[in-house]
Amino acid sequence: MTQPSDTLFSDPLRAPGPFRFDRDVVEVFPDMIRRSVPGYETVIAMTGLLAGRFARSDSCIFDLGCSLGASTLSMHRHIDASDCKIVAVDNSAAMIERCRRLLSDVGDNPSIELRGADVRDVVFTPASVVVLNYTLQFVPLEERPELLKRIADALLPGGILVLSEKVLFPDPTLNQLNIDLHHDFKRAHGYSDLEIAGKRDSLENVLIPESLDTHRARLQEVGFKSCDVWFQCFNFASLIALK
């Protein structure tokens, strides 16, 4: 099936408002994220492998900010452990509705529960794998430590958090270079300068990136024993944190 392409920021007469995961975004989401996030497909595929290795029987797997269920599906493919449940959470009603349709014919081993909820309100049950693929960046800065602490507390010993984010660099030259390279990536995938600028303005104060040092320090503070980057492409990185 061909995916509708993302032209949401191509109208020069439409001033972009703050970015929202509404029906228009859901319509083009697979195309948008593939052409906007360098390394997205690799991160999704490897999330499945990581979950296959770390999922434990009788535990939950949380996919926080699941969008259309790409990470959930990838994990579902790789998890053999018995009596696992994947809990996929998103606070966009339009995303959850579409995700429910996309996952409707997926088998129930492991089972999948879709929840329309804010990740900050999730009551965690004992978990062996928690995934935050490009979601923490949308949570207000001051609420990130508490969410990560609750995730660390919910993880069973030996459990894993996969955390993928847009990041910034303390060195201003490297920071600008990575931003420019990201824009080159988007141009190479067919976005115009107008579309790139429109999306950037729309995400201002909505997507708030932090540095890898900030992520690592906070993950240790909230109780993870070991953490580091396993994948990076320009200003998009993915970390694993072990309980």
Q: Which residues bind ligand GEK (CB under 6 A)?
A: 21, 33, 44, 65-67, 70-71, 89-92, 95, 118-120, 133-135, 138-139
Query: Shortest approach of ligand GEK to residue 82 CB, angstroms?
Result: 26
- Distance, CA of 153 to CA of 91 (rounded, Å): 22
Paired strand residues for 195:
none
Q: Which is nearer to ligand GEK, 65 or 198 (CB)?
A: 65
Q: Which is nearer to ligand GEK, 92 or 235 (CB)?
A: 92
113-to-100, 109, 116, 207, 232 alpha-carbon distances in Å: 9, 12, 10, 27, 30
Question: CB-wise, 117 or 220, nearer to ligand GEK?
Answer: 117
CB of 198 to ligand GEK, least distance (A): 15
Which amino acid is located at 239 in the chain? Answer: L
Question: What does R_g of the chain's alpha carbons equal in angstroms?
Answer: 18
The closest of 232, 239, 168, 241 to 39, measured between CA atoms, is: 232
Query: Residue 146: how many CB atoms within 10 A of its CB?
Result: 12
Written as six digits, the tokens of 195 are: 């579309």
Whose Cβ is closer to ligand GEK: residue 143's or residue 171's? 143
- By C-beta, is 19 or 54 nearer to ligand GEK? 19
CB of 71 to ligand GEK, least distance (A): 5
Closest to ligand GEK by CB, 92 vs 202, is 92
CB 95 within 8 A of CB 68: yes
CB of 186 to ligand GEK, least distance (A): 13
Residue 52 identity: G
Kindly tell me which of 139 and 237 has the beta carbon lying closer to ligand GEK: 139
Name the closest residue to ligand GEK (Cβ).
65
CB of 30 to ligand GEK, least distance (A): 8
Q: HSE (CB half, 13 Å, CA atoms) of 15?
A: 1
- Smallest gap from Cβ 109 to ligand GEK, in A, equals 22
Minimum distance from residue 92 beta carbon to ligand GEK (Å): 3
Find all residues with CB under 8 Å of 55, minimum gap 6, and list them: 61, 75, 79, 80, 81, 84, 110, 128, 129
